[in-house]
C-alpha cells in the first residue's frame, strides 16, 4: 500500500500543505522545529485516528483556529481511498472515507497501516516494561480488531477494579462487586494474554534471523512473554493476590503488569545485562521484525515512517535498515541530506521543510 498524497489545512504549523509522495523513498529534510515530524504525525493520525505523540486534537489544531482538516489518499491493491479528517476544538473529530462520513472511528480500521519508528523506539529494551507493553498493544491494535476491543474492555475494568479497591477497606458488602469485576477481568484478560503470547511467538519466527544478520552472525536472540501470573491462570492469580490488592489498593497481576524478555542464546537477559549497543541493536531488530510481521498478517506492505532515526544509528546499522526497506514506501525525516550522500541508497523524492512549508527539492 502507498500514500499518494496528503493535504493539510490549519494543522500545527501548516496553514496549507499539499504533498504528493513517491511510492518508494521520500525524504523530508530541514532544520529543527520546521514541521517535519508534524507531517509524519498527520499521516499516522489519518490512519489510526491518534497522534503518535498522544496529543489531543485541540492541541494539534493550528494556534488561533478552531478546526483542522486532513485529506489523505491511499492506494491499496489497485484501488484508491480518500480519508478525510476534520479535527474540532470542542467535539470529537469527523471522519469520512471516500466522502462518506463514518460513525465510529473503528470503521477506519484496516484501511491503511503505518509502522512509526522514532529514536525513542531504540530505547525500548533499556527502559521499563510499560514501553514494551505499549509496543505490543499498538501493534496488535492496528492488526486485530478483536484484540483492540478486548484490550479496551480489560483496561476499563482494571480502572473500575482499582477504584473499587480504594473504597473496599472495611466495607465487606463491596466484596460481591469485586467478584463481578474479577469475572469480567478474567474473561477479557485471558483473551489479551493469549493473543500476546501468540504475537510473541509470531515475532520470534522473524526476529531471530534478522538479529543474527544484523549482528553479523554474532548473536541470536529470543523473546519470551513474561507473565505476572507466573504459572497460574489469571483467575487463580487474582484470587491469590486479592488480600494484597486490597491492601495496596491496586491490581498487582494481569496483562497490564507483564513484560517481554529479550534473551541471547547464551541466556543473557539483554534488558538487565546487555550493553547499550546490544540493547539498541535488539531494538532495531524488533522494529524491523514489526515491518515483516505486519506484511505477513495483512498480506500487503505497511508504510514506514522514520522520524529522525538514521542519525541515531551507526553506518552499519543504517545500511542494514535502508537495505531492508527497499520494497516498501518510506517517509524519512532528517535535518540534513549528508546521511544519504555517501550511501548507495536511492531517494525518489526530496522535500525541503521550512517554516511550515514544503518545497520539492529534486
Ligand atoms: N498547534 C500548533 N499550532 C501551530 N504550531 C504548532 C502547533 N503545535 C506545534 N507547532 C509548531 O510546530 C513546530 C514543530 O514541528 P515539528 O515537531 O514537526 O518539527 P521538526 O521539523 O520535526 O523538528 P525537529 O527536527 O526538532 O524534530 C514547532 O515550532 C511548534 O511550535
Ligand atoms: Mg521532529
The string of pLDDT tens digits covering residues 221-253 is: 999 999 999 999 999 999 999 999 999 999 999
What is the pLDDT confidence band of residue 185, given thresholds at 50, 70 and 90?
very high
Looking from the CA of residue 59, the nearest atom of ligand 1 is 1
Confidence at 309, pLDDT banded by 50, 70, 90: very high
Q: Which homologous superfamily is 1-113+300-362 in? A: P-loop containing nucleotide triphosphate hydrolases (3.40.50.300)
What is the pLDDT of the chain when averaged over all its residues?
Answer: 94
Atom of ligand 1 nearest to the CA of 30: 21
C-alpha cell at 213: 544478520
Q: Report which protein residue has its CA nearest ligand 1's atom 25.
A: 32
What pLDDT is stored for residue 195 in this prediction?
A: 98
The rounded distance, in Å, linking the Cα atoms of 39 and 52 is 11
User: Model confidence over 105-135: pLDDT tens digits?
Assistant: 888 888 999 999 999 999 999 999 999 999 9
Asked if the domains at 1-113+300-362 and 119-298 fall in one CATH topology, the answer is no
Percent of the chain at pLDDT above 90?
85
43 contact partners, CB below 8 Å, separation of at least 6? 3, 6, 72, 114, 303, 305, 331
Mean pLDDT check: name the lowest of 164-178, 216-230, 346-360.
164-178
Give Dmax over CA atoms of the chain in angstroms.
Answer: 72
C-beta 63 within 6 A of ligand 1: yes
Q: Residue 45 above 90 pLDDT?
A: yes
Question: Helices 145-167 and 175-214: crossing angle, nearest 10°?
Answer: 130
Pair 263, 269: CB distance under 8 Å:
yes
Task: Tell whether ligand 1 has an atom less than 6 A from the beta carbon of residue 68.
Answer: no
The response to whether residue 36 sits with its C-beta less than 6 Å from ligand 1 reads yes
Is 29 a pocket residue for ligand 1 (Cβ < 6 Å)? no
Instruction: Give yes or no for residue 52 CB within 6 A of ligand 1.
Output: no
The ranges assigned to domains in the chain are 1-113+300-362, 119-298
pLDDT, position 170 = 77
CATH of 119-298, one of 1.20.1050.90, 2.130.10.10, 1.10.10.10, 3.40.190.80: 1.20.1050.90
Q: Which of 13, 17, 57 for mutating ligand 1's site (highest number of atoms within 8 Å of CB)?
A: 13
Amino acid at each position: 500500500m502507498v500514500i499518494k498524497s496528503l493535504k493539510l489545512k490549519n494543522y500545527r504549523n501548516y496553514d496549507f500543505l499539499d504533498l504528493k509522495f513517491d511510492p518508494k523513498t521520500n525524504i523530508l529534510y530541514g532544520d529543527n522545529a520546521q514541521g517535519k515530524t508534524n507531517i509524519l504525525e498527520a499521516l499516522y493520525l489519518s490512519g489510526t485516528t491518534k497522534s503518535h505523540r498522544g496529543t489531543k486534537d485541540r492541541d494539534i489544531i493550528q494556534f488561533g483556529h478552531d478546526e483542522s482538516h486532513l485529506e489523505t489518499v491511499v492506494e491499496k491493491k489497485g484501488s484508491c481511498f480518500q480519508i478525510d479528517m476534520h479535527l474540532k476544538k470542542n467535539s470529537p473529530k469527523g471522519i469520512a472515507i471516500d466522502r462518506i462520513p463514518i460513525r465510529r472511528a473503528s470503521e477506519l480500521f484496516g484501511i491503511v497501516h503505518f509502522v512509526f519508528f522514532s529514536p525513542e523506539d531504540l530505547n525500548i529494551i533499556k527502559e521499563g516494561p510499560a514501553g514494551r507493553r505499549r509496543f505490543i498493544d499498538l501493534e496488535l491494535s492496528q492488526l486485530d480488531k478483536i484484540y483492540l476491543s478486548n484490550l479496551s474492555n480489560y483496561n476499563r475494568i482494571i480502572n473500575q477494579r482499582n477504584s473499587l479497591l480504594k473504597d473496599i477497606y472495611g466495607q465487606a458488602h463491596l466484596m460481591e462487586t469485586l467478584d463481578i469485576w474479577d469475572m469480567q477481568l478474567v474473561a477479557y484478560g485471558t483473551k489479551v494474554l493469549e493473543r500476546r503470547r501468540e504475537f510473541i511467538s509470531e515475532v520470534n519466527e522473524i526476529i531471530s534471523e534478522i538479529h543474527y544478520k544484523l549482528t553479523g552472525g554474532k548473536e541470536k536472540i529470543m523473546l519470551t512473554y513474561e507473565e505476572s501470573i507466573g504459572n497460574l491462570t489469571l483467575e487463580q492469580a487474582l484470587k491469590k493476590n486479592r488480600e494484597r490488592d486490597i491492601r495496596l489498593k491496586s491490581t498487582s497481576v494481569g496483562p497490564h503488569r507483564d513484560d517481554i524478555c529479550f534473551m541471547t542464546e547464551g541466556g543473557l537477559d539483554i534488558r538487565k545485562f546487555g550493553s547499550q549497543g546490544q540493547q539498541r541493536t535488539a531494538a532495531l531488530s524488533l522494529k524491523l521484525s514489526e515491518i515483516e510481521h505486519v506484511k505477513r498478517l495483512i498480506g500487503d506492505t505497511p508504510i514506514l515512517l522514520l522520524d529522525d532515526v538514521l542519525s541515531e544509528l551507526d553506518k552499519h546499522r543504517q545500511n542494514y535498515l535502508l537495505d531492508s526497506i527497499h520494497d516498501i514506501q518510506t517517509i524519512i525525516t532528517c535535518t540534513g541530506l549528508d546521511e544519504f550522500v555517501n550511501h548507495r541508497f536511492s531517494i525518489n523524492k526530496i522535500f525541503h521543510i521550512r517554516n511550515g512549508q514544503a518545497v520539492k527539492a529534486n
